[in-house]
Amino acid sequence: MQSSTPDSFSLIHTSVLLEEVIRFLAPVDGGIYIDGTLGLGGHAEKILLSCGPSGRVIGFECDASAMELAKKRLAPFGGRFYALHRNYAEIMEGLAEIGIRKVDGMVLDLGVSSLQLDSGERGFSYQANGPLDMRMDKRTRPSAAEIVNDLNQEDLADIFYYYGEERQARRIAAHIVAERAKHRITTTSQLARIVTGAVPKKFQPRNIHAATKVFQALRIAVNKELDNLTVVLDTIPKILKPGGRICIIAFHSLEDRLVKRKFKDNPELQVLTKKPVIPSREEIRINPRARSAKLRAAYLKG
């Protein structure tokens, strides 16, 4: 089956390590696969093309806007694709909802999509001014603004330090608390300006914006990303068939270390990637946002 994907989808977001995911996932005709982070459907489309004519993909996506775009993109595959508006941590409940117990493989791409990053109104990036939100799923709380304005100074500093590995966490948290006493912090540009002003020039990173790690940390906290990843890593043996494969793409060290440790420590899993698979120079040239991607894969022992 040929894809009828509009060019606009690839312009909005380019899925990373596509060929590598397919090589490790090894989809087969008749198999059932999960794309736990459906996004705009790039990985799901590739899997569907590789497991035809009767293989299926179940897509999990907590971002309603992304899910609707993915459903349009994958409509040509008909009943071979099904989407669930759920977080990937709810995979057990989602599969039970549609009467599936075990699957042949699963992929997770833990990155933030270009659709989210480039949309100012979503509040994910300091590069596009908008409301300080960062929620992938609008049904959840709190937003980034609620965290920034309501948490005490110590808790804010902990978020920045542990989730963003920000060495100036305490200094930044103190400046935020001082600023919010004057007026509520509601936009991405406000927060970026406060963070930049809090960090002395000599301590600011040379290659990234001064607010990069703070924004990363808030996004992880808002969306409970490490908690959700822990849940799904513990769930993998319960949903894979013997020999079933799991591929996970991480974009920062906290996620990658967690995946590496969970794969290694689980006696039911056999690791397929001794070292993480990274994008080629050519892929990074075409899609610079792929530069920090790391793919790890494993399969369930029979």
Query: With helix as H, strand as E and coil as C, how does the chain read?
Result: CCCCCCHHHHHHCCCCCHHHHHHHHCCCCCCEEEECCCCCCHHHHHHHHHCCCCCEEEEECCCHHHHHHHHHHCHHHHHHEEEECCCHHHHHHHHHHCCCCCEEEEEEECCCCHHHHCCHHHCCCCCCCCECCCCCCCCCCCCHHHHHHHCCHHHHHHHHHHHHCCCCHHHHHHHHHHHHCCCCCCEHHHHHHHHHHHCCHHHCCCCCCCCHHHHHHHHHHHCCHHHHHHHHHHHHHHHEEEEEEEEEEECCHHHHHHHHHHHHHCCCEEECCCCCECCCHHHHHHCHHHCCCEEEEEEECC
Range 141-222 classified under CATH 1.10.150.170: yes
User: Distance between CA atoms of 93 and 119, rounded to whole angstroms?
Assistant: 30
Tell me which CATH homologous superfamily contains domain 7-115+225-300.
Vaccinia Virus protein VP39 (3.40.50.150)
Q: How confident is the model at residue 207 (pLDDT cuts 50, 70, 90)?
A: confident
Per-residue confidence (pLDDT) for residue 302, from 0 to 100: 86
Token couple for 221 = 């906290």
Partnered with residue 108 across adjacent β-strands are 248
Per-residue confidence (pLDDT) for residue 1, from 0 to 100: 37
Per-residue confidence (pLDDT) for residue 270, from 0 to 100: 98
User: Distance between CA atoms of 115 and 70, rounded to whole angstroms?
Assistant: 12
* Percentage of the chain exceeding pLDDT 70: 92
Per-residue confidence (pLDDT) for residue 170, from 0 to 100: 98
Q: How confident is the model at residue 110 (pLDDT cuts 50, 70, 90)?
A: very high
Give Rg (Cα) of the chain. Answer: 20
- What is the average per-residue pLDDT within 240-264? 97
At residue 35, does pLDDT exceed 70? yes
Count of CB atoms situated within 10 Å of the CB of 142: 15
Token couple for 297 = 């894969």
Q: How confident is the model at residue 11 (pLDDT cuts 50, 70, 90)?
A: very low
More reliable by pLDDT, 73 or 10: 73
* Percentage of the chain exceeding pLDDT 90: 83
At residue 284, does pLDDT exceed 60? yes
Domain-by-domain residue ranges, the chain?
A: 7-115+225-300, 141-222
